[in-house]
Amino acid sequence: MIETSPALTTVPVELGAKAYPVRIGPGALDQLGEEILARGFARGVRVLVVSNPDVDGPYGDRVLRSLERAGFRSERLVLEAGEDQKTLTTVSRIHQAAYDHQLERGSLIVALGGGVVGDMAGFAAATWLRGIAVVQVPTTLLAMVDAAIGGKTGVNHPGGKNLIGAFHQPSLVLVDPSTLTTLPPRELQAGMAEVIKYGVIADAVLFDALERQESLASLEAVGPALLAQILRRSATAKARVVAADEREGSLRAILNYGHTLGHVVETLTGYRRFLHGEAVAIGMVAAGLLSRELGLWSAAEEERQRQLIARAGLPLAAPPLEPDAVRECLLRDKKVRDGRVRFVLPTQIGAVELRDDVPLAMAQAALMQTIPARS
Ligand code: NAD
Ligand code: GLY
């Protein structure tokens, strides 16, 4: 029996034969080797650690040392950073490194980084030798609470984001909150949008805890106790949804709260002006207005969501957009049928409804309503 640290918190992702734990705690990075042994991998197994310079610089050596201490034969591959790297070309580089390092069926890939590294390394693991194990070690808030959990892996296609991919559950997700100390504050805030999302869609206790904090805009303002609660409760919310609906037959779609109108904002601003989480924040504001307009949500709770988003330093308003462009963009959304859009709409803090019957014009109007009037 391999001893693992009791100091780490465990959130189980209950997926039968594919079940795995999310292990969370400061200093977890130095325990990666033992944590992998505890998942049943033998000493001597080959491991490829995939990262980028932003994370390899501060954390790569620690990860490699931990793996070596546990007896793994590890190599690292450091890719360039950035969403524009999330392509099949980069995945081919990971495959080449897997070949060079002689990764076998029992070998594993460790994804050390944000959602971009996690999605690419996960997809490379899903496709190398028809699927080898992957361990996710997320280093952005967004990846810790969302991307690293749930097994969605993939890359972008020139025609759209995440069009190429596979479901491939990790064997372990290891979250070390202290890696967030080097994360730029804007990236932390973008991740906070997904945290607020969990509060609204699934966890009123989390929402209340966030609300009690004066600011959520920096690591210092959040503090270690609330951060620990954020990571545990968000992982629990995601794990519960994924366990109930791994392949997004229905329920998993609630994780897309704020994403439909957020996607319109991202698309119409050419993916340059807003980080994904910032666009999701605007999308949640618009979805909140829409829900209120449809009589599903109270004005008071919609205002609470708006206040919380503001406290995280996130944008509340879309930039000036042409109404026709918004309409066109919504029409191209795969969730539109007969002029009606599929929407995740809050009914109270901690609960949402999936609606298939939202008139496209109302969705368009809700997003336009967030745009400040020109003086
Ligand atoms: P990211 O991976 O691009 O990371 C953001 C930036 O922070 C990058 O420049 C990165 O190099 C840097 N960085 C990462 N960790 C750092 C650290 N600890 N210190 C300093 N710098 C650090 O962005 P992200 O927001 O983590 O992820 C976005 C990606 O995740 C998108 O491609 C999106 O499609 C994907 N995603 C996937 C899922 C899923 O379920 N698979 C869910 C949500 C998002
Ligand atoms: N990020 C949405 C999902 O994992 O389904």
Interval 160-175: pLDDT, tens: 899 999 999 999 999 9
- Our answer on whether the CB atom of 33 is closer than 6 Å to any ligand 1 atom is no
Find the 360 Cα to ligand 1 centroid distance in Å: 31
Q: Determine the Cα–Cα distance for residues 136 and 146; give it in Å rounded to an integer.
A: 11
Which of 182, 216, 236 corresponds to the end of one domain?
Answer: 182
Q: Are 268 and 325 in contact (CB under 8 A)?
A: yes
Instruction: Determine the average pLDDT of the residues in 16-26.
Output: 98
pLDDT of residue 375: 61
- Say which CATH number the domain at 112 has: 3.40.50.1970
Residue nearest to atom 17 of ligand 1 (CA): 183
Instruction: Render 140-172 in DSSP notation, one character per residue.
Output: SHHIIIIITSS-EEEEEETTEEEEEEEE---SE
* Counted domains in the chain: 2
Residue nearest to atom 33 of ligand 1 (CA): 115
Find the 361 Cα to ligand 1 centroid distance in Å: 33
| Percent of the chain predicted with pLDDT > 90 | 93
Mutation choice for ligand 1 from 13, 29, 142, 272, CB with most ligand atoms inside 8 A: 142
- Say which CATH number the domain at 255 has: 1.20.1090.10
- Our answer on whether the CB atom of 96 is closer than 6 Å to any ligand 1 atom is no
Which of 159, 182, 205 corresponds to the end of one domain?
Answer: 182
Interval 319-331: pLDDT, tens: 999 999 999 999 8
Is the pLDDT at 334 greater than 80? The verdict is: no
Work out the angle between the directed axes of helices 299-311 and 204-211 (0-180°, nearest 10). 60
Q: Which of 65, 252, 340, 342 is catalytic?
A: 252
Find the 58 Cα to ligand 2 centroid distance in Å: 28
Instruction: Determine the average pLDDT of the residues in 35-63.
Output: 98
Is the pLDDT at 98 greater than 80? The verdict is: yes
pLDDT of residue 4: 72
Does 156 lie in the same domain as 28?
Answer: yes
Q: Tell me the pLDDT band of 13, cut-offs 50, 70 and 90.
A: very high
Instruction: Determine the average pLDDT of the residues in 26-35.
Output: 98
Does 218 lie in the same domain as 177?
Answer: no
Does 221 lie in the same domain as 153?
Answer: no
Does 121 lie in the same domain as 233?
Answer: no
Indicate if 130 belongs to the active site: yes
- Our answer on whether the CB atom of 111 is closer than 6 Å to any ligand 1 atom is no
Q: Which of 259, 292, 304, 311 is catalytic?
A: 259
Indicate if 152 belongs to the active site: yes
pLDDT of residue 152: 98
Flag whether 374 is in a domain. Answer: no
Indicate if 86 belongs to the active site: no
pLDDT of residue 82: 96
Interval 182-227: pLDDT, tens: 999 999 999 999 999 999 999 999 999 999 999 999 999 999 999 9
Q: Report the alpha-carbon angle 164-183-181, nearest 5.
A: 140
Find the 193 Cα to ligand 2 centroid distance in Å: 14
End-to-end CA distance of the chain: 69
Q: Determine the Cα–Cα distance for residues 293 and 316; give it in Å rounded to an integer.
A: 17
Mutation choice for ligand 2 from 13, 136, 234, 256, CB with most ligand atoms inside 8 A: 256
Q: What lines the ligand 2 site, CB under 6 Å?
A: 146, 150, 152, 252, 255
Does 207 lie in the same domain as 112?
Answer: no
Residue nearest to atom 1 of ligand 1 (CA): 114
Interval 228-238: pLDDT, tens: 999 999 999 99
Does 291 lie in the same domain as 204?
Answer: yes
Flag whether 113 is in a domain. Answer: yes
Q: Which domain holds residue 70?
A: 3-182
pLDDT of residue 1: 53
Is the pLDDT at 3 greater than 70? The verdict is: no
Does 123 lie in the same domain as 220?
Answer: no
Indicate if 101 belongs to the active site: no
Q: Which of 256, 278, 292, 311 is catalytic?
A: 256
Q: Beta strands 133-138 and 108-113: pairing type?
A: parallel
Which of 161, 182, 203 corresponds to the end of one domain?
Answer: 182
Does 87 lie in the same domain as 142?
Answer: yes
